[in-house]
Each structure stands twice: as structure tokens, then as C-alpha cells.
Chains A and B, each alone.
Chain A
């Protein structure tokens, strides 16, 4: 026992075990955040598909998108959370609001009637839900798919690579642990986007140009 505790590696593993008990506070906070965001997102999604007034649907959809942005932050995708708010909750939803307000939906002709296929649609949706849930339940459970396991793995990798040793401080260990949230940051995303995914990025630009031209062409008043 004494022989082991003197080596730099086992020293670090001990410190790691100590840290895990300390960091359980943070992970329970994350769990609470997840449940709050998930419940609000599901509630507002239900409101989106059940409100009679399209304006209310749009506003609840904005709420859903904000909750999803919060979940992206929990998953370490900070850049995508910012994009979600700017592009979805900002641009796309403003477009929806403009169209809802431009169209004259107060007209009695446009009050939405009951669809004959309503019950069928609900049954198909719930059936789809059950099928996917059955597949999830059948999938093998993987304990590596949680944050603490990822952190432990990152620290172990760093110890083996020699980046962490007996001289490294708690801050160093924390730094290595937090590296699991680093891949969603703007700098690493940008690095990937402009090296491995440069061609798809350019094609996405062409797609947006085509969409702009198409939208203008469709919505323009025809001159007879």
C-alpha cells in the first residue's frame, strides 16, 4: 500500500478519486438544469402543436428553441447554442412572425377546422414514439456515455501521455477534465470548418444564395 502511494501515477489517481466526490455537486446541478430545460421544452413543444392562434405557436416555438440552446450549452456546444439563438430564435422566428402578421388569418374562411385524419395522426405519432423507445430500451447500456466517465478517461489519458504528473496542481487536473467541453467552442469548430469541411461550407453558401433567389422569385408580385 505504502509503495503504491509513493509513485507519481497512483498519487494522481488518488487525487482524481478525491476530486470525483467534490465534483458530484456540479453534476447534480447539471442534472437539475437538464430536467428544467427538458420539461419546459416539451411543454412549449406541445403548446406549439395545440394552439389555435399561429402567433402563440410561434412564440412557444421560440421558447422551445431557447431551451434547446440551454441544452446545447450543457453538452459543451457553446458556439452552436449562440447560433441557435441568433439563427433560429432570431432570424427564422422573425420570418415566421412577419408571415403570420402579413396574412389575414382573422378571416372566417381561415379558422382552422378539425381534420378528419386527426386521430390517425396522433396514433401514428405515438406508434412512432413507441417504436423508437423500444429500440432505445433494447440497445446495450453503455456506462462510458456520461460526463464523469469522460472526465476520468481524459485524466487517465493525460497521465499516460505524461501531461499530468506529481507536480501538477488541482487547476491542471481541472483543466484536463474541462477539455471534454472544448470541442464545441468557436475556435475548434472554426478550425474544423475551414480545414476538413471547407468544401461543404462553401456549398452551404451557394445553397443559401439559391434560397435567397428562390424566395425573392417566388414572393415577387407578377407583372402581367
Chain B
């Protein structure tokens, strides 16, 4: 059987759902950030798959920008995590309740 766009659609949908489940079920903020990376990557995969099957390079260029934004996001996100850990000695999102009303 030959590969079609549907193989990639299915794979990236499942990867994205795994990312959502990770964000919603875990309390470790590092693993939540990793799950966000997982979701970004599944979107990247789908962009590249459509870009290939439509034979248009725009999707691939877009993936390059997504990767740039993801790199910036991880840099700032990890800096925030380090700062929070320094102040509150925890990485549990349940215990980070500064903004709770």
C-alpha cells in the first residue's frame, strides 16, 4: 500500500492528542513544556506533509519559522521555570498559585 496524506494526517493527529493529554494530566511543569513541544512538532509534520503533497514550498518555510518561535519559547519558558524554582522551590503547577484568585 502506498503512502498518502492520510497516513500523515492520522499520525500527527494522534501525536497532537498525546501532547494535549500530557499538558492536561501532568503536574510537572517541565513535562508540560515538553508536551507543548510535542504538539508543535505534530503541527510541523502536517505542514510538511501538505507542503509535499501539494508541491508548494510555503509550508516548509512556515515550519522553519515555527521552529524559530519554538526555540524562543523554550528559552524564555525554561528561564521562567528556573526563576520560579529559585523563589518557590517547586516545579509542581498545583503549588504555583500566585495568580490564583
A interface list, Cβ under 8 A from B: 27, 30-31, 34, 38, 41-42, 45-46, 48-49, 54, 57-58, 61, 64-65, 68, 71-72, 74-77, 79-80, 83-84, 87-88, 91-92, 95-96, 99-100, 102-103, 105, 107, 109-110, 112-113, 115, 117-118, 120-122, 124-126, 128-129, 132-133, 136, 141-142, 144-148, 150, 180, 183-184, 188-189, 192-193, 196-197, 200, 204, 207-208, 210-212, 214-216, 218-219
Contact = CB atoms under 8 A, between A and B. Distances in A.
Contact of B72 (A34, A211, A218): A211
Contacts of B90: 109-110
Contacts of A75: 8, 48-49, 51-52
B15 A45 contact: yes
A103 B82 CA distance: 8
A107 B69 CA distance: 33
Interface of B: 1-11, 13-28, 30-31, 33-35, 37-38, 41, 44-45, 48-49, 51-53, 55-58, 60-61, 63-65, 67-76, 78-83, 85, 89-92, 94
A8 B37 CA distance: 53
Contacts of A141: 6
A118 B33 CA distance: 17
A118 B25 contact: yes
B11 A77 contact: no
A-B pairs with lowest CB-CB distance, top 4? A121-B24, A49-B22, A211-B72, A125-B21
A48 B22 contact: yes
Nearest to A35: B7
Contact of A184 (B20, B26, B52): B52
Given A68-B41, A132-B13, A208-B72, A110 B91 contact: yes
8 contacts: A49-B19, A61-B34, A84-B67, A91-B71, A96-B74, A99-B82, A126-B21, A128-B16
